[in-house]
């Protein structure tokens, strides 16, 4: 018989490990031996990358000692869906176990999504891209605002916003974050680069030269300053020609830009002089 969660997720955020332990070790929740073949992966599992070495070590332990803590599942059509215990389930398959101890609980989709995300965040199992994708899924599938999501998981609104921005990075850079070649700090720094090709090139340089986040920031700032200086030192020739003509005509400093002309004058008399040259004064 599936057991309902005694307290809502609103009351347990920030304490996921305790909740999972309460479910696992509560006398009301008896463990069942469930065939591994009948268990489907958690459809809301945000974690995509698992340490092969760690799973193999756990499999070796399971071969010798078995699974100490039951996994948590819910009933589904034709079997069960995993809620918590992905590593134990994967390791048990490697250990060639036919069944695994499990506790069946009555979770809805929202609870599954939230508890899967929080379990991984609290244990720091997610890389920055997986975390960002999990936030994006919660926002779109559960119709949360960023403010609501921040309150639900105990993060600040700016933190959520900055994490979601990582999804705007080119896929080539996101992949480097996922496989651990770049940190979340490197990824956020590269968001300042508008050109996709330039951002990818800088990402590759950061990996090759083992740049720190601060070193990468300095390189990007230098590039921006260089572009700004180059732009200032090389004005449009057509505008420069117009500027020279007007300065010679008006005998004053003139600045010509793409959508405006700035004429310098000193006092009312000088202004009237310029207006007279431009034939802008009313005849008396």
> For residue 81, which of 104, 100, 99 has the smallest C-alpha distance?
104
Beta bridge partners, 33, equal 101
What does the alpha-carbon distance between residue 47 and residue 123 come to, in Å, rounded to a whole number? Answer: 11
Three-class DSSP category at 120: helix
Q: Is the Cβ–Cβ distance between 55 and 184 less than 8 Å?
A: no
Among all residues, which ones are annotated catalytic?
A: 86
Q: Is the Cβ–Cβ distance between 18 and 79 less than 8 Å?
A: no
Task: Please tell me which residue, 229 or 28, carries the higher pLDDT value.
Answer: 229
* Dihedral (Cα; 125, 130, 134, 137), 10-degree rounding: -160
Q: What pLDDT does residue 4 have?
A: 43
What does the alpha-carbon distance between residue 86 and residue 95 come to, in Å, rounded to a whole number? Answer: 14
How many CB atoms lie under 10 A from the CB of residue 69? 15
DSSP 8-state symbol, 273: H
Q: What pLDDT does residue 3 have?
A: 43
DSSP 8-state symbol, 1: -
What does the alpha-carbon distance between residue 87 and residue 84 come to, in Å, rounded to a whole number? Answer: 9
DSSP assignment of 143-193 equals T--HHHHHHHHT--HHHHHHHHHGGGS-HHHHHHHHTTSS-HHHHHHHTT-
200: pLDDT strictly greater than 90: yes
Q: What is the pLDDT of residues 57-72, one digit of tens each?
A: 888 988 888 888 888 8
**pTM for the model:** 0.57
The CA distances from residue 278 to 79, 261, 271, 272, in Å, are 87, 14, 11, 10
Q: What pLDDT does residue 153 have?
A: 75
How sure is the predictor about 113, in pLDDT bands with cuts at 50, 70 and 90?
Answer: confident
Q: What is the pLDDT of residues 15-34, one digit of tens each?
A: 555 555 666 555 455 778 89
Q: What is the pLDDT of residues 139-161, one digit of tens each?
A: 887 788 888 888 877 788 899 99
- Where does the chain show beta strands of DSSP type E? 3-4, 32-35, 39-40, 71-76, 79-84, 99-106, 254-256, 261-263
Three-class DSSP category at 13: coil
1: pLDDT strictly greater than 70: no
Q: Is the Cβ–Cβ distance between 33 and 100 less than 8 Å?
A: yes
Radius of gyration of the CA atoms of the chain, in A: 31
Query: How large is the average pLDDT for residues 176-200?
Result: 91
* Dihedral (Cα; 241, 246, 249, 250), 10-degree rounding: -150
């Amino acid at each position: 018989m599936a057991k309902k969660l005694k307290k809502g997720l609103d009351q347990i955020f920030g304490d996921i490990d305790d909740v999972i332990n309460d479910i696992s070790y509560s006398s009301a929740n008896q463990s069942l031996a469930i065939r591994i073949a009948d268990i489907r992966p958690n459809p809301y599992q945000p974690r995509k990358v698992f340490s092969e070495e760690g799973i193999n070590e756990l499999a070796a332990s399971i071969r010798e000692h078995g699974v100490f803590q039951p996994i948590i599942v819910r009933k589904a059509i034709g079997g069960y869906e995993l809620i918590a215990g992905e590593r134990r389930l994967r390791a048990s398959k490697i250990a060639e176990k036919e069944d695994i101890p499990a506790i069946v609980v009555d979770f809805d989709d929202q609870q599954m999504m939230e508890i899967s995300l929080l379990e991984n965040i609290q244990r720091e199992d997610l890389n920055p891209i997986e975390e960002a994708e999990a936030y994006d899924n919660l926002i779109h599938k559960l119709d949360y605002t960023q403010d609501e999501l921040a309150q639900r998981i105990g993060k600040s609104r700016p933190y959520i916003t900055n994490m979601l921005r990582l999804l705007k990075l080119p896929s080539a850079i996101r992949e480097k974050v996922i496989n651990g070649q770049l940190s979340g700090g490197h990824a956020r720094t590269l968001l300042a680069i508008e050109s996709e090709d330039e951002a990818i090139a800088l990402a590759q340089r950061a990996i090759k030269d083992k740049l720190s986040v601060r070193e990468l920031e300095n390189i990007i700032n230098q590039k921006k300053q260089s572009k700004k200086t180059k732009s200032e030192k090389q004005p449009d020739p057509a505008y420069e020609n117009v500027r020279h003509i007007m300065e010679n005509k008006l005998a004053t400093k003139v600045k010509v830009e793409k959508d405006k002309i700035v004429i310098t004058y000193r006092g009312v008399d000088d202004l009237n002089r310029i207006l007279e040259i431009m034939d802008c004064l009313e005849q008396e």
